[in-house]
Structure formats: structure tokens, C-alpha cells
Structure 1
């Protein structure tokens, strides 16, 4: 059973991010400091091994650290990403996850062009961090950690989070990677999700309705994108969003986030939305947030027009307006 520790934010600024854990006494034990500091204060006295931080926010609004989520499991398969070279990654077997894990095991990469584009965006400015929404087994997250960037990875599946933990430990990325196990939506509360046999990456979130109360339904707490500001201070951000049709709902819950953080680039899976009302809604939301759609390539910076939305590519990059 996962042991949960209540997290309370003491202070957050650009130089030091200090989060504390409330114990049974009146004292607070520091859990982590910002990525600009080399120090790391462990939860348990005498504990010297650095661990990957796995956090979750519950319905009552408290943040918890999950202290044993990162335990290695016997069905983890270790592979190597082709780029960046010598980056370890733990995946599923091909029968369980034919697309993402299968591609990594066969070719050493998944969505390599998009990963390289995201890398180039991060390399443009050393202060940029990666917010990986729908991190899966962590291809984008591990790339960003490998090049020395701070990473915040959000996913709902324990199997994905456990593998990303194991990969981060194998790559010695504990100081760079923080994982959040929550769904994201436009309102707080429980949501359900569906997984597909043979395609872990196809997992999608759906809001609960009156019918969905049967025993055995998969439930996870949903938070707002804005809620991440409760414990993290984001300045310059690159977002990768691959959440299987739930992009519109997440953006609706991010008004404060896009106001307080400087989102320079947003890479989004968009194919589902090209022929649906959600596509126009996403364009309007991001326009209000100061973002312009463009082709997903650092080598082709042509902007996209909403009159051609049906012809947009499956992935679209939004760039902050007036970004040089």
C-alpha cells in the first residue's frame, strides 16, 4: 500500500522552491528545493538515496507525496533511447503496448521528430522547463532531463509512472524529474478513464455521468492545470500535451496558468479536433492566452490559419505571440 505524506508549500520563488511535509509533530521536514540548488533533503532521517518525487492532489485540496511508487517491478523491460544517446527507459512488452513500447524496443524512439522539435525549443533558452502532459513512459520527459532541463510529468496510469520513475533513477535524473499522478480537466473532481488492451498510449479520460457508478469502474481525481501553481512556480515553459481528445478541457482549466507562467511553446496532438467544435474552441482559447498556431517544426515557422483547420497536421505547435 502506498504511504502518503501531506505536503504543504512554505515558499516558492525563482531561486528556491521549498515544500515541506507535515509529520505527527509540529515540525515540518523539507522535501525538495528548486532545480537551481544541488541540495536535496530526504524525508526520512538517515536516508541518503535520492528519489524521484511523485505527487498527487486529492479532492480536499491537499498535495501528497507517494513514497513507494517507484519500486521496480519484474515486468519492466529496459531499453535505450536512440536520442539522446545512452538514455535508459523502461517500457512494457510489445503485447501490452504495441505502439509506444513496441517502437522503442524496435527503433529506440517514439515520435522522434516531435521529440527533437521539443528538444530544440528547450535548447533555445536554458531557463525553459518541460511540462509533459500525458507523459506515458516518458520519452519526452527523459529527453528533457538528459539535456539538463527541469521536467514536470503528468500521467494517470501507475504503470507509466512506475516506469518513468525507474528510468529517471537509472539515468540519475532525480533532481530534474517530478511526476504528478492526476488527471487534468476543467473542473476538480473524480473522472473515469479507459485503457485499451495492447495500446497503453490510447488511454483516455472521460467525465463521470449518472450511469457510471458501477462497481469496478476506474476512477482518478482530476485537477486543474492552474492547481500546479499551488506547489510549483513556472516561469518559461514548453508544454507537450498528448491526452487523447481531452485537450480542450485541460486548456479551460489553465487560465491562471497561462497568465502567471510564460508558455513559450505548446505542442499538442490535434488530429481528433480538426473536424469537431472542440478544434475551434481550442483555437479561441489559445488565442486569448496569447498563442499562435504553427506547423510543428522549428525549420518551418509558417503560421496556420483557422480557415484551413481541416487540413492541419495531426500535431500542432502553438507559439507565444511576439516571441523572438
Structure 2
């Protein structure tokens, strides 16, 4: 009986320890979650021979690791040649973080981390999500090179509304165009997490979000019921595209925004909720 009681207590302690990741223990780390548990993923944080060191123009000479131009003709090529990518959108996020300096910036679909590295370098707390292991590894390398281990956490998971394993499909020479598909034979898989899962670790009260997840936005939002209840989200910058397979996609996103007291930013000069008339794909939703 004593041995069984000892083993029960030991198992209980182990389960408790697995769930004891905190903000302070995850900052400067790559973390990941399977169906049940979070862990620190030091195995992902490895520097590869194919990492290309580039520098952002702002903040001046910020180191950032990207892909070769041959592999990534879009984000990496732009960063290598111009030191920037999505400059106007990065400026929007900087502006909102200046307004709410105690907020946490969530970069959902971070790619190699242009937004995440920029905001962390400016001194803000950042949690960056990406499903591509190569992106997570590069952000880790950038974090170390830029001395950001007190500001940035990288989450290597896809963000959704359920826990499952998925495979990834990626556009030709375009790492940023990655979307989730059902597990496929011979393809690696990655686990999904929800924003609600973050509440197992973090207790922050305010956030600003950038979301670029290739038509998974509805799943991200519907997997964040508790998150939006507990965290005051001030702004969401979203790549808003019409789904070719889901005619209700746009309406579902806007219904969520309305129900959580967000509206398209007036400076976008949009026809309020008439998304079929919007002439831009990058939409800033702000709290009313």
C-alpha cells in the first residue's frame, strides 16, 4: 500500500510539473503542445547550415535569420534585399503597441518573424506562433542573435479550434503561403493548439494580435472563446481573404468581430461591414 501511494503521489507530481510552464520559464524559448501537454522544445531551437543572416532596416541592423532567395522568393528575398517586409503593417502594430505598452503582441502565423523580431527588439513582450519547424528554428536563432531572450517566446504549433495532427502544404518558393491539410502519408505532421490553450501558461490581461493563417482565421477565432473573455484584445490586424470553398467565411469572421465589439478601422476607408467592397486584404479591426 505504501509503495502504491508513493507511486500515485509521484505520478501526480509529474503531471503537475508538466503543467507548470510559466511566462518566465518560457520566455526566450521555443515551446510546443501535443494533445495534452506543453513542453519546452530545445530540440527545435537548432541553427541550420541553410540559415541566411539578414538585417532589418528598422530597428536599425536588427539581425534576422531567413531562407535563401531560391527557397523563399517573397518574405526572405525582401528582407535580404531591402531589410523589410510589410512595412506599413508593421508600422500599424508598432503604433498600437505604443498605445498599449503593457499589452502582449501575438504574432499568429509569424513566418520568419519580421513582426515578432521587430516588436521584441523595440522592447515589447511577444509570443510568435508558426507551424513550420524551419520558421520556428529561424526565429529562435534570431532571438538569440538579437538578445531577445527576455522578450520573445516562439510557439511551434498550428493554431486552430481543436486538438489534432495536420500536415502542411506550402506554395512554390513561398514559405509564407502555408496552409493546413489532413495528415498525409509520407508528410510530417504538426499538432494544433488553440488560443485558449495559452491560458494554461499565461495570465496576461491585454493583447494586440496580427493574424496571417491562410484561411484558418475562423478556426483560430472560434478556438479562443475563453481567451477573448479573459484577455482584452485591443486590435487585430488580419489578412482577410475570401475562401474559395466556404461561402460563409467572411460572414463568420465579421460575426465574431461584431459580437466581440470590434469594427474595421475607420482609417482604412472601408464600407464598414460590406467586405465584398473592400479593396484591401489587410484589415485592422479595433475595439469600439
**Which residue does 1:249 correspond to in 2?**
219
Q: What stretches of structure 1 of length at least 5 have no aligned partner?
A: 1-5, 19-30, 36-51
Q: Does 2:237 align with 1:267?
A: yes
Which one of the candidate residues 295, 306, 312 is aligned to 2:273?
Answer: 306
217-226 vs 83-92, which moves further: 217-226
**Which residue does 1:316 correspond to in 2?**
283
Normalising by structure 1, we get a TM-score of: 0.79
**Which residue does 2:50 correspond to in 1?**
75
Aligned length: 271
**Which residue does 1:199 correspond to in 2?**
174
**Which residue does 1:282 correspond to in 2?**
253
Runs (4+) off by over 6 Å: none
Q: What stretches of structure 2 of length at least 5 have no aligned partner?
A: 1-16
Match runs of 1:205-216 below 5 Å: 205-206=180-181, 208=182, 214-216=184-186
The 2-side partners of 1:172 and 1:7 are apart by 27
Higher relative contact order (CA 8 A, sep 6+): 2
Q: C-alpha root-mean-square deviation of aligned residues, in Å? A: 2.0
SS at match of 1:230: coil
- Alpha-carbon shift at residue 230 of structure 1 (Å): 0.7
Q: Which has a greater percent of helix?
A: 2
Which one of the candidate residues 95, 110, 126 is aligned to 1:151?
Answer: 126
Whether the 8 Å contact between 1:7 and 1:65 is mirrored in structure 2 is: no
**Which residue does 1:47 correspond to in 2?**
none
CA displacement, residues 125-173 of structure 1 (integer Å, 9 cap, x when unaligned): 2201210000000000011111100000000111101111111111100
Whether the 8 Å contact between 1:271 and 1:313 is mirrored in structure 2 is: no
- Alpha-carbon shift at residue 250 of structure 1 (Å): 0.7
Q: Does 2:57 align with 1:57?
A: no
Which one of the candidate residues 139, 148, 173 is aligned to 1:164?
Answer: 139
The 2-side partners of 1:320 and 1:65 are apart by 33
- Alpha-carbon shift at residue 311 of structure 1 (Å): 2.2
**Which residue does 1:43 correspond to in 2?**
none
Normalising by structure 2, we get a TM-score of: 0.88
Q: Which has a greater percent of strand?
A: 1
